[in-house]
């Protein structure tokens, strides 16, 4: 079960970032759309987990995802409004949205400990891949210094989320 949950989490997340790896370097408008989509995917999954999780640590983690990612989206929207940049959908932002919908559909079929483990396994994988995209694609390709600074500023939160998700995952395995 453990391996099948992890494999499914990877299968649901991996396609989201394949287009980012294959695509030409995103411009600032595309980076903005990717940031908003990535955060919204985690907010949506967090809302489902907050209402459906059976484990208190999973519920608390989900609440943190909703709060933290909503705050990042607020900052991103304020910045792009200030800069007069309209986020531009692109294959990566669309893939993130599609993957988020697939993840929610999968999670809705689960309950109890099975739900908790699947949600947290996905969160670990998702945050690792978001960090990889932030480090290798988004920060290096951001042309606007304020956008780049925002990405650098929020990066530690993604690291903290990854570590927190790993801790919860470990506690669920006991």
Which pLDDT value is given to residue 24? 73
Q: What is the average pLDDT value for the chain, to the nearest integer?
A: 87
Which pLDDT value is given to residue 25? 87
Give 36-67 pLDDT, tens digit per residue.
999 999 999 999 999 999 999 999 999 999 99
Q: What CATH number should be reported for the domain holding residue 6?
A: 1.20.1260.10
Which pLDDT value is given to residue 17? 52
Q: Mind giving me the DSSP string for the chain?
A: -HHHHHHHHHHHHHHHHHHHHHSPPP-HHHHHHHHHHHHHHHHHHHHHHHHH--SHHHHHHHHHHHHHHHHHHHHHHHHHHHHT------HHHHHHHHHHHHHHHHHHT--HHHHHHHHHHHHHHHHHHHHHHIIIIIHHH--SHHHHHHHHHHHHHHHHHHHHHHHHHHHHT-
Give 113-159 pLDDT, tens digit per residue.
999 999 999 999 999 988 988 999 999 999 999 999 999 999 999 99
* Domain boundaries, position 36: 2-19+27-172
Residue 168 has pLDDT above 80, yes or no: yes
Which pLDDT value is given to residue 3? 46
Which pLDDT value is given to residue 173? 84
Domain count within the chain: 1
| Percentage of the chain lying above the pLDDT 90 cut | 70
Residue 7 has pLDDT above 80, yes or no: no
């Amino acid at each position: 079960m453990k391996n099948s949950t992890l494999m499914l989490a990877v299968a649901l997340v991996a396609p989201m970032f394949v287009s980012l790896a294959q695509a030409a370097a995103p411009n600032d408008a595309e980076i903005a759309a990717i940031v908003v989509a990535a955060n919204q995917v985690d907010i949506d999954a967090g809302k489902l987990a907050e209402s459906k999780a059976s484990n208190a640590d999973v519920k608390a983690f989900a609440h943190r995802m909703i709060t933290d990612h909503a705050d990042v989206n607020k900052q991103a929207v304020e910045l792009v409004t200030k800069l007069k940049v309209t986020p531009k959908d692109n294959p990566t932002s669309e893939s993130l949205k599609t993957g988020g919908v697939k993840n929610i559909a999968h999670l809705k079929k689960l309950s109890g400990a099975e739900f908790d483990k699947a949600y947290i396994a996905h969160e670990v994988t998702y945050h690792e891949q978001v960090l990889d995209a932030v480090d290798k694609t988004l920060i290096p390709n951001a042309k606007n210094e304020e956008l780049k600074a925002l990405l650098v500023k929020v990066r530690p939160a993604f690291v903290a989320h990854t570590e927190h998700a790993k801790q919860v995952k470990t506690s669920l395995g006991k």
